[in-house]
């Protein structure tokens, strides 16, 4: 009876180790799926080269945050693979603009500098956050609604056309879903493989003491 219990415990441990290995092996592919969606769905959309909200400018930082995300969590009694989503991904700081884009926005907006804003409204944009707060103040850009007042100011005050926010009136673009889809499409296969490999290891070890170096 003790031997059966021992084999069962060993098997559970082997499966656990195999799942951790498998999940960790797959994480780069999850990231790859998300970055591919980033290129196709976000960068490919922007055609105005003057736009400061072009996702191309935020790609490196996004990838870095993606790399910092903890995908595989081993809590002894269970193993989870988590994929970043709109709630769990870190969109703080410069990446807030990406959250704006990915959540979608109704209405037409334009990108406006702090200087132009002051010229139109005769005050500083105190209640609005800039796209990027880590640049010198003269370079800060805000997204504001393109209403009749702004439209008139383009010709009457600024004498130039403001850059249109390229994701105006755009529905949500959830590129993180690409990672979730990759996992959903493959998870059954990963589980089957992990269990099959675990069975092989157990047979190799004849149900005896678990030897991690025997795992191939």
- Least distance CB 46 / another protein (angstroms): 16
**Among the residue ranges 6-14, 60-68, 143-151, 198-206, the one whose residues contact another protein (CB under 8 A):** 143-151
DSSP-assigned letter for residue 42: I
Among 2, 3, 68, 127, binds another protein (CB under 8 A): 127
DSSP-assigned letter for residue 40: I
- Report the C-alpha gap between 193 and 22 in whole angstroms: 9
- Report the C-alpha gap between 79 and 62 in whole angstroms: 26
- Least distance CB 170 / another protein (angstroms): 8
- Report the C-alpha gap between 162 and 199 in whole angstroms: 65
Beta-carbon contacts of 22 under 8 Å, excluding residues fewer than 6 positions away, are 190, 193, 194
Phi, psi of 107 (to 5 degrees): 100, 165
91 interacts with another protein by CB under 8 A: yes
Among 6, 94, 96, 164, binds another protein (CB under 8 A): 96
Among 97, 173, 175, 183, binds another protein (CB under 8 A): 97
Q: Which two tokens stand for residue 197?
A: 């490999």
Pairing assessment for the beta strands 79-81 and 72-74 based on DSSP bridges: antiparallel
Q: How many residues bind another protein (CB under 8 A)?
A: 31
Question: Which H/E stretch holds residue 195?
Answer: helix 177-204
Among 23, 38, 109, 210, binds another protein (CB under 8 A): 109
144 interacts with another protein by CB under 8 A: yes
Could you count the other beta carbons within 10 Å of the beta carbon of residue 150? 21
Q: Given the complex with another protein, which of 12 and 169 has the nearer CB atom? A: 169
208 interacts with another protein by CB under 8 A: no
Among 56, 70, 86, 115, binds another protein (CB under 8 A): 86
Footprint of another protein (CB under 8 A) = 86-87, 91, 96-97, 99-100, 103-107, 109, 120-121, 127-129, 131, 142-145, 147-150, 169-172
């Amino acid at each position: 009876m003790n031997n059966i219990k021992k084999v069962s415990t060993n098997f559970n441990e082997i499966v656990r180790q195999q799942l951790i290995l498998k999940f960790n092996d797959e994480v780069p592919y999850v990231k790859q799926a998300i970055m591919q969606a980033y290129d196709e769905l976000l960068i490919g959309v922007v055609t105005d080269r003057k736009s400061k909200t072009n996702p191309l400018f935020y790609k490196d930082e996004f990838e870095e945050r993606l790399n910092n995300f903890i995908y595989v969590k081993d809590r002894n009694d269970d193993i989870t693979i988590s994929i970043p989503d709109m709630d769990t991904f870190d969109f703080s700081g410069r990446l807030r603009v990406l959250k704006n884009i990915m959540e979608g926005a109704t209405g037409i907006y334009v990108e406006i500098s702090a200087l132009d804003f002051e010229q139109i409204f005769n005050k500083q944009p105190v209640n609005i956050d800039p796209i990027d707060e880590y640049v010198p103040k003269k370079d800060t850009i805000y997204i504001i609604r393109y209403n009749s007042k702004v439209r008139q100011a383009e010709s009457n005050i600024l004498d130039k056309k403001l850059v249109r926010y390229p994701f105006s009136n755009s529905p949500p673009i959830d590129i993180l879903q690409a990672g979730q889809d990759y996992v959903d499409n493959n998870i059954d296969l990963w589980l089957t493989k992990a269990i099959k490999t675990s069975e092989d290891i157990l047979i190799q070890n004849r149900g005896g003491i678990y030897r991690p170096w025997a795992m191939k």
